[in-house]
Amino acid sequence: MRSHMNSSTAKILDGKALAARMREEIRLEADQLASKHGRKPGLAVIIVGNDPASHVYVKNKKIGCEKAGIHSFSHELSADTSQQHLLGLITELNNDPKVDGILVQLPVPDHINSEVILEAIDPGKDVDGFHPYNVGRLASRKPALRSCTPYGCMKLLEETGIDLHGKECVIVGASNIVGRPMALELLLVGATVTVTHRFSKNLRSHIERAEIIIAAAGKQGLIQGEWIKPGAIVVDVGIHRREDGSLTGDVEFEEASKNAGWITPVPGGVGPMTITMLLANTVQAFKTHVGD
């Protein structure tokens, strides 16, 4: 993989391996809960439309459920499904005692208002952690269901064994599903947090002083390797497909590896952790509903 003489020093933060270990633990717990309570934890997965990448993610979520001893209820809706119909389905699932978790795969088609949809999900079943109730819980230091990608990034950071108190963290990107909840997660553990976004000036100067970088801008190769402070931890949330079909992130991986202390690969870093935390959240929601 990396064959240069001036070879990289960074250790790989292996999300695939951590995800496999965690999924094994989740399966053991789900099996115990199923024997005790007479049913498996249940996750309803809703997808609207034909976006090919979204269908791959949903398929992987359903496979993840099956392997972890979680029952998945699949709802594949056509691209012209009305918002009203989708809201009706969510109400049914909110009231279904066999369903512990509900997720609506994003993005939804343009004629559907995703905010209205996400707010219709019972916060106790919101295993994506996107409902304002769950975001508010995290913001007020009483996390309930936490959003999966930032939660997965925190598990990856824990793997380094580094104390996060007072660390200079720079999050690149301020989206609702990654950047913003990531800032709240890092604040919760006592880190110093900067969030940069499309209006921020001089990204390089922020990156250069960061001890921890969370790259979630959605721009291929935005973060240059030479900007990375020696020894920094780099967590790359970006996923982009190159013309040759291979995947890459928001960070120049090869160059960044020469400076970073730890770095996540793409693929095999944050992605597998996102689905793992969804499974963990479903088990957590089951325990809240049924008991442990």
Ligand X SMILES: Nc1nc2c(c(=O)[nH]1)N[C@@H](CN(C=O)c1ccc(C(=O)N[C@@H](CCC(=O)O)C(=O)O)cc1)CN2
Cα(77)–Cα(45) distance, rounded to whole angstroms?
A: 11
CA-based radius of gyration for the chain? 19
When CB distances are held under 5 to 8 angstroms depending on the partner's kind, the choice from Mg ion, ligand X, none that residue 106 binds is ligand X
Counting contacts by CB under 6 A, is residue 239 touching ligand X? Answer: yes
User: H or E segment at 60?
Assistant: helix 52-67
Measured from the CB of residue 208, what is the shortest distance to ligand X in angstroms? 26
Residue 105 binds ligand X (CB under 6 A): yes
β-bridge partners, 46: 75, 104
Judged by CB under 6 A, which stretch of 62-70, 158-166, 218-226, 270-278 contacts ligand X?
A: 270-278
- The reply on whether position 12 binds ligand X by CB under 6 A is no
x/- mask, Mg ion, residues 187-226, rule CB under 5 A, reads -------------------------------------x--
224-263 mask for Mg ion (x: CB under 5 A)? x---------------------------------------
Bin 202: left if φ > 0, else alpha if -120 < ψ < 50, else beta.
Answer: left
- Per CB under 6 A, contacts with ligand X among 141-180 are 148-149
Active centre residues (catalytic): 61, 105, 128
Q: How far is the CB of 46 from ligand X (least distance, A)?
A: 9
How many angstroms separate the CA atoms of 76 and 78, rounded?
7
> Which residue's CB is nearer to Mg ion, number 248 or number 281?
248
Number of residues that bind Mg ion (CB under 5 A): 1
Convert 159-192 to b/e letters by CB count within 10 Å (16 or more is b). beeeebeebbbbbbbbbebbbbbbbbbbebeebb
Nearest Cα to Cα of residue 43 among 33, 58, 23: 58
Residues 19-78 that bind ligand X (CB under 6 A): 56-57
Show the 3-state SS of 158-196. Answer: HHCCCCCCCCEEEEECCCCCCHHHHHHHHHHCCCEEEEE
Q: Which residues contact 203 (CB under 8 A, 6 or more apart)?
A: 172, 196, 222, 223
The single residue among 100, 122, 128, 211 that binds ligand X, judged by CB under 6 A, is 128
Q: What does the binding site for Mg ion look like in residue numbers (CB under 5 A)?
A: 224
Q: What does the binding site for ligand X look like in residue numbers (CB under 6 A)?
A: 56-57, 103-106, 128, 148-149, 239, 247, 266-268, 271-272, 274-275
Q: Binding site: residue ranges? A: 173-175, 239
Q: Binding site for NADP(+): residue ranges? A: 173-175, 239
